[in-house]
Chain A
Amino acid sequence: MQQQLDWIEKNTCDVCKLFGSPVQAARLRCSDGTLDNPAAAAVRVRDGVVLDRDSHTAVDGLKYDYETVAAGTAFRVCFDLDNPTPKDEALFGAALFEWASGSSLGGFTSRGLGRFRLEDIEIRGVDFDNLEERVQYLTRPKAEEKLNDRGDWQSYFQKKIEEVLNTVPAGGQ
């Protein structure tokens, strides 16, 4: 078993270790998105037509529908990092900075759909090497009280990214 783990450690990249690969489960889990305000959410059915590339007109009889949620319909999503290494945290932090500044999600992005940004980012954690945090985790009945607030997410992840980059030679792995 140890031999297999050593092989995985040596032969898989940091992205595979964080997001998972055919040989190892992901350290990152992502919850379903839950609506912040379900009463205000609306699904809209739009229609589209197939275009004839030669005549530049709609093809007769070929119509399809697609469903969208309206802009501004906020979702709450939780990412869970299990036993993250400094590289995992730096990698995830880099992705978080990218998503916070705006990215795109889902299909039909060339037709004006899918842009989003992240807001209201909170990071909480537990380090089981720390006795106080370990006791807190084991003795609190509510999930939100088990983990400690790690403060401002930008400072937290900036520090992690800088630490990892300082240990890696320029252009290195």
Chain B
Amino acid sequence: MLRKWLCQADITVQLQPIDPILIKSGYATHRGPDVVAAPVTLLEGREF
């Protein structure tokens, strides 16, 4: 369905970290350090 575009607002901000920011975390394994990207893609129940 078409919708009317009536107005728009853009808010630009500067995100200023006071502490370090976590961007990626691994998890402990018996094989040692293992950094794994947080997003995991699943297709038909299998990981990619």
**Chain A interface (Cβ within 8 Å of chain B)?**
1, 33, 36, 43-45, 47-50, 59, 61-84, 89, 92, 96, 99, 102, 105-108, 112-129, 147, 150, 153
Contacts and interface: CB of A to CB of B under 8 A. Distances in A.
Given A74-B17, A124-B11, A125-B8, 17 more contacts: A59-B28, A61-B30, A61-B32, A63-B32, A65-B33, A71-B17, A74-B14, A75-B14, A79-B13, A81-B8, A81-B9, A117-B18, A118-B15, A122-B12, A123-B11, A129-B7, A147-B8
A96 B17 CA distance: 15
A123 B10 contact: yes
Interface of B: 1, 3-30, 32-35
Nearest to B20: A68
B10 A124 contact: yes
Given A63-B33, A65-B26, A68-B22, A79 B10 contact: yes
A48 B27 CA distance: 9
A15 to B, nearest CB: 17
A118 B17 CA distance: 9
Closest 5 CB pairs of A and B: A68-B20, A62-B28, A66-B25, A125-B9, A120-B14
Contact of B14 (A50, A118, A147): A118
Interface of A: prevailing SS:
strand
B21 A82 contact: no
A59 to B, nearest CB: 8
B26 A66 contact: yes
Contacts of B19: 71, 112-116
Given A47-B33, A66-B26, A66-B35, A118 B16 contact: yes
B7 A125 contact: yes
Contact of A80 (B10, B14, B15, B25): B10
B22 A125 contact: no
A84 B9 contact: yes
Contacts of B1: 1
A107 B22 contact: yes
A145 B13 CA distance: 18
